[in-house]
């Protein structure tokens, strides 16, 4: 959440910062601001609303410079006001700072600093840190320090912080230095020729350089136009590792599509192909994963799996539970990461912990991973974030290779996760009692998925017409059985996220244990029934809805026979193996939610109150 861009080099900094903020706007779009370091000092511009408002404001400002910092905000402490917008300049005018994260002890900081003569103009926790840096900066002068006074002031101020931060800081007396630091909030250094970019996401860097340093927690970086250095919180030098970004800026552009979300829905076949590439054995009977860092013998000793995540990724964990228990016969538990990290869950000593996260930076998932490691458990990650904190800290894992996902509501990252957990079920099953023949059949089914998704996407316009019929309703129920229950949850979440319609997901059989009280003409139900032994039972649940005059949209596979007149609208998906059916059933739900949101005039890519990567608690 929130986006940071900082720059020091030779280019005009204003346009570069604005370009970076536009690419990071999905991380927060309540307000935005920048500060340009000019010969006359700090030139600060802030605006409430989208980055476009800031672009308009800067076009009327003549200040130029080659050092600056900027921020696009997702509000935590304090409302959406210009005074709460970053950057925050210390009350003595010496320090300008942008901040992601939460300073938990900011109230105590403010009380201390007010006694010392500092004043506050915002409600934010961030301003307390900018003033604390200014306090230590003044104190360093009193103590006779000079050459590293700015850097030392930042380091000393951070030693008093309780909470999380990713910051970019400038000082009015140091026109040739930009400082960054992180703890719990991502920060990346882009390394160019005589220029450096500090950002919370690769997308703000990729147009200028593909060489990056991923800062770890409790690390600081100091940049000048001549070079940079990375040190620990204890001021110990660190040899930075320069990595290469493996995607192009074109991958994160909308192209011919109206919204990123629609583009990413249609990118799913390619994302699924990338998730599978090179991950099947030569004999075509099992999956292979090179990054688990566990031998087959070690994996056979595992008695239980724990999957933990947040939001959409949590739904993929629920699908993992169904698939792995069915095909590998290993007990699986699924926990919300936000709950797991704070509760004392008893785990068997032979438990393997999987964390699932698109960004690799989700703060609760990272906390759960660290807690599991503290207790001595092996941790593996499923993530799309190459170079992310979770990817670096986990004991091993599986990269999704889905490409950048800009739309706040996850689409291709989710179906990529579903495919990977199906491949994991295959891999673990073949280590146990799945036969060669069954394994080969499952590999065949998995390989068919991209083309089956392409076939499903051909119903785009049919689903758009259905969406137009239902866009005016205020409540929805999503219902499915077995592995379709998590998909029902995901369908309900998508509708809530981007169209602001109240929606709930339930196992279809649980409807009569309470939710059936909601059934009426004004509350449509979306059923997912893809065949199998419980198909007739789902049809009975539909009959119960129709008996109460409820409207029904049914998503079902091609070979399912549905009585004439039973449902109001149908969306037919291809026949496929049970192991991949959750992926196919997801696609119509994504399109349905998307087109309902468009019909209602909602901002699909930037839904209210949401941001892409949740890096604060």
The active-site residue out of 46, 263, 496, 612 is: 612
Q: How many CB atoms neighbour CB 277 within 10 A?
A: 9
Which residue's entry shows tokens 């673990």?
428
Q: Are 72 and 51 in contact (CB under 8 A)?
A: yes
For the chain, the distance separating the N- and C-terminal CA atoms, rounded to the nearest angstrom, is 10
C-alpha span between 103 and 27 (Å, rounded): 19
* 489 φ/ψ angles, rounded to the nearest 5 degrees: -60, -45
379-383/351-357 β-pairing: parallel
b/e per residue 437-451 (b: at least 16 CB within 10 A): eebbebbebbeebbe
The active-site residue out of 2, 171, 317, 523 is: 2
Where helices occur in 143-293 by DSSP H, the ranges are: 149-158, 260-266, 268-276
C-alpha span between 365 and 357 (Å, rounded): 7
Q: Are 614 and 362 in contact (CB under 8 A)?
A: yes
SS3 of 413, please?
A: helix
C-alpha span between 268 and 275 (Å, rounded): 10
Q: How many CB atoms neighbour CB 80 within 10 A?
A: 13
Specify whether 64 is catalytic.
no
Specify whether 2 is catalytic.
yes
- The strand ranges marked E within 102-154 are none
Retrieve residue 586's tokens.
């997801």
Residue 294: CA count within 13 A, CB half-sphere: 23
C-alpha span between 173 and 248 (Å, rounded): 37
227-232/237-238 β-pairing: antiparallel
Closest CA to 490 of 528, 529, 532, 452: 528
Cite the active site residues.
Answer: 2, 612
């Amino acid at each position: 959440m929130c986006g940071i861009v900082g720059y020091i080099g030779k280019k005009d900094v204003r346009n570069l910062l604005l370009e970076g903020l536009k690419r990071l706007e999905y991380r927060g779009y309540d307000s935005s601001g920048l500060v340009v370091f000019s010969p006359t000092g700090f030139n600060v511009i802030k605006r409430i609303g989208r980055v476009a408002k800031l672009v308009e404001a800067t076009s009327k400002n003549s200040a130029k410079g080659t050092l600056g910092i900027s921020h696009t905000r997702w509000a935590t402490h304090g409302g959406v006001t210009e005074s709460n917008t970053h950057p925050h300049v210390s009350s003595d005018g010496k320090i300008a700072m942008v901040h992601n994260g939460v300073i938990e002890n900011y109230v105590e900081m403010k009380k201390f600093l007010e006694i010392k003569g500092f004043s506050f103009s915002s409600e934010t926790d961030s301003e307390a840190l900018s003033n604390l840096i200014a306090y230590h900066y003044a104190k360093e002068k009193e103590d006779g320090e000079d050459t590293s006074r700015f850097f030392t002031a930042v380091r000393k101020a951070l030693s008093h912080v309780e909470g999380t931060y990713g910051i970019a800081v400038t000082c009015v007396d140091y026109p040739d230095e930009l400082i960054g630091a992180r703890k719990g909030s991502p920060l990346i250094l882009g390394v160019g020729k005589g220029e450096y970019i500090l950002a919370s996401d690769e997308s703000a860097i990729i147009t200028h350089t593909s060489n990056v340093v991923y800062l770890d927690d409790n690390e600081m970086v100091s940049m000048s136009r001549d070079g940079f250095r990375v040190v620990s919180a204890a001021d110990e030098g660190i040899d930075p590792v320069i990595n290469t970004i493996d995607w192009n800026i074109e991958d994160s552009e909308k192209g011919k599509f109206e919204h990123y979300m629609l583009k990413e829905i249609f990118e799913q076949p390619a994302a699924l192909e990338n998730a599978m590439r090179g991950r099947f054995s030569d004999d075509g009977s099992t999956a292979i994963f090179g990054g688990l860092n566990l031998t087959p013998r070690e994996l056979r000793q595992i008695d239980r799996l724990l999957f933990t995540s947040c939001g959409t990724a949590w739904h993929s964990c629920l699908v993992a539970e169904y698939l792995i228990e069915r095909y590998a016969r290993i007990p699986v538990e699924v926990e919300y990461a936000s709950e797991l990290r704070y509760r004392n869950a008893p785990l068997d000593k032979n438990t393997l912990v999987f964390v699932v996260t698109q960004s690799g930076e989700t703060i609760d998932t990272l906390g759960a991973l660290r807690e599991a490691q503290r207790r001595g458990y092996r941790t593996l990650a499923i993530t799309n974030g190459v170079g992310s904190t979770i990817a670096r800290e986990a004991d091993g894992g599986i990269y999704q290779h889905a490409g950048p996902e800009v739309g706040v509501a996850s689409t291709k990252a989710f179906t990529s996760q579903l495919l990977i957990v199906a491949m994991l079920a295959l891999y673990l099953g073949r280590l146990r009692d799945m036969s060669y023949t069954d394994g080969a059949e499952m590999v065949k089914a998995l390989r068919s998925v991209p083309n089956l998704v392409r076939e499903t996407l051909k119903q785009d316009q049919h689903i758009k017409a259905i969406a137009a019929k239902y866009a005016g309703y205020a409540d929805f129920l999503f219902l499915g059985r077995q592995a379709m229950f998590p998909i029902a949850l995901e369908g309900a979440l998508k509708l809530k996220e981007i169209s602001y319609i109240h929606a709930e997901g339930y196992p279809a059989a649980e409807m009569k244990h309470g939710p059936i009280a909601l059934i009426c003409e004004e509350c449509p139900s979306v059923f997912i029934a893809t065949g199998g032994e419980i198909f007739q039972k789902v049809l009975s649940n539909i009959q119960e809805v129709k008996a109460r005059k409820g409207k029904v949209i049914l998503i079902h596979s091609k070979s399912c026979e549905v009585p004439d007149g039973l449902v109001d609208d149908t969306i037919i998906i291809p026949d496929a193996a049970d192991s991949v059916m959750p992926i196919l059933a997801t696609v119509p739900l994504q399109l349905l939610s998307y087109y309902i949101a468009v019909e209602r005039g909602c901002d699909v890519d930037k839904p209210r109150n949401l941001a892409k990567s949740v890096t604060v608690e």
